[in-house]
Structures are given as structure tokens and as C-alpha cells.
Structure 1
Amino acid sequence: MIVMPPLPHARCWTPRPLPVGPRLARGWRITDFAAAGAVVRVGRRSSELDRLLRRAGVRHGAFVGAWNPCSRRAPRWRNDAALARLRAVATRRGIAHHDGAGCAARPAWSEDHLLLLGDWRRAMVLAHRFGQHAVVVVRLHDLARLRVLR
């Protein structure tokens, strides 16, 4: 039996244990999620992100990706095409968004995301549609939280 490292500030919509391995769980913990000059980590607050949400007139948002569906590596061109489709769907549905990225230093890692502004549940639907394991939900004056989908 594999013992999963704790993921603080994670909410799971699947039975335990988490449906991901310890490396992926660690990756979420050490990643800086950034968009429009605001940066946040899971389990932390960000005054820049609060300002961004206030300027947009919303209380919630979520970092959603489309890269590497189901955590299976895909070539850059396929990842970029998937993110472009996610951006198009968000635009068609009238969801305000900013381009963003998730980056970690050790090990060096980077993945493009969108920060979808507004109801985080709509973001979760899109994340599921694009094969993502989780989204990072942000709320005004609150900690960033990981919502595990699969």
C-alpha cells in the first residue's frame, strides 16, 4: 500500500487515497501559479491575486490547464492546441480569463494555464472536460486550494 504525502488545503471529489502519485502531489505543493502579475501557491494567500479578483469584480477564480491530459506527457504542439481550445471554450461561454502558468524550480517544471474568473465550479467542469486531475481555486481574502477531480 502506498502512503500518500499530505496535501494541505486539498479537497477531493474522489475516494481516498488521492488518484495521483506522490510526485504529482509534491508538484502541486511546490508550484507557483501565476497570471496577470499575480502569483499564489496552494495553501497560501496572495494580495496581488486579491487585487486582480477585485478589479475583475469577482470573488472566485480557478487556475485550469489543458496540458498533459490525465498527467500523461504530450508534445508541446498538442498541449498548446489543447490550451487554445480551452481558451476558445471559455471565451464562447463568456468566462473572463487571463493567460497564466504554473512553474516550479526544483525540479524545473512549467505548464501554461488559464486563470478563469468567476464561479470555480464552471472551471472544474472545463478541467474535467480537458482531462485534468485538479484545479487551483482562489477566493478573495482566502487561501488557494487544490480541488482534485479524478
Structure 2
Amino acid sequence: MSLPHLRILHPDPLPIGPRLARGWRISVYEAAGAEARLGRRSAPVDALLAAARVRQGAFIGAWNPMSRAMPRGWNDRALARLRRVARMPVLEGTGHAARPPWAEEHLLMLGDPRRIAMLARRFRQHAILRVRLRAPSRLLVLR
């Protein structure tokens, strides 16, 4: 399994199966009309970062912790809690792929990815997609 631009931040990560790895590879993350893809630079995301006067941020979700499907109401409440505890600029967003069809609501948090990673762990997420000004996006695997 080859994932470009992958960094594992957990000393003993959970197994990443081929379906999850492929899902990360083919997903598109979008906020405010700007799209990001794993391992690619995005001029529209650069523009969002520059407008917010930050150098980096990350796409983060709260839906389906540890990739276990949860009811829509549960997911919406979890994302609302994440918004409340963010303490940094947040843009509404989504993560989605066409085949297999997949979509989740996400947030693009603008600020220090270490804080974002801490929140992702708290909300039991596998990974975040870090974006940096004038750099390709990078997947940070947390568990």
C-alpha cells in the first residue's frame, strides 16, 4: 500500500487497510469553493490561508469515529461540538469521493496542525489532511 505524502504520528498505528488507504487517496476535501487532494498543492487553498493570514491548517471531521458508521444525528452533534471547541478560524467543508460514493462534512481549521491533531484524537478520527501555504497537502495519521 503506497500513500504519498503520508506521515504517521502514532507510535503504534492501527492497521490501515487497502480500502481506507484508497479512500484517502481518491478523496477531495473542499471548503469555501477551494479543493484539496492528498499530495497536491492547491492555489485556491493557498488563497484561503493567505486571506486568513495563516500559513497552515487542516481538514478535520468528527463524523464516524474510527471509521465506524454512526447515525446522521449523532454525526451532526459531534461536528457541532467540534466547532464549539475549535478556538481558531473554521470554514465549513466536506470530504467526498465518487467511487465508491462517500461524503462527510468536515471543517477546514486555519491554524496550528498540532492543535487540530489533538482535537482529531479527541474526536477519534484516524487522520487529518494538513494544508500549508505553497506546499502539497499531507495526510497525518493519528491512530
Q: Could you say whether these structures have the same fold, taking a TM-score greater than 0.5 normalized by the shorter chain as the test?
A: yes
What is the percent sequence identity of the aligned residues? 61
Q: Distance in 1 between matches of 2:133 and 2:41?
A: 9
Cross-structure match for 1:87: 83
- Choose the corresponding residue for 1:142, options 123, 126, 135: 135
Equivalences for 1:1-150 in 2 at 5 Å? 5-15=1-11, 19-90=15-86, 93=87, 95-150=88-143
SS at match of 2:103: strand
* Runs of 4+ more than 4 Å apart: 15-18
- Aligned-partner Cα distance in 1 for 2:40–2:109: 19
Which consecutive residues of structure 1, in runs of 5 or more, have no partner in the other structure?
none
d(CA) in 2 for partners of 1:87 and 1:123?
11
State the TM-score, normalized to the length of structure 2.
0.96
TM-superposition CA deviations, 1:82-121 (whole Å, max 9, x none): 000000111xx2x101000001011111010000001111
Q: CA contact under 8 A between 2:13 and 2:142: conserved in structure 1?
A: no
Native 8 Å contact 1:12 1:18 kept in 2: no
SS of residue matched to 2:134: coil
Aligned mates of 1:72, 1:120 — CA distance in 2: 24
Instruction: Report the CA distance shift for 1:17/1:56 in structure 2 as closer, same or farther (over 3 A).
Output: closer
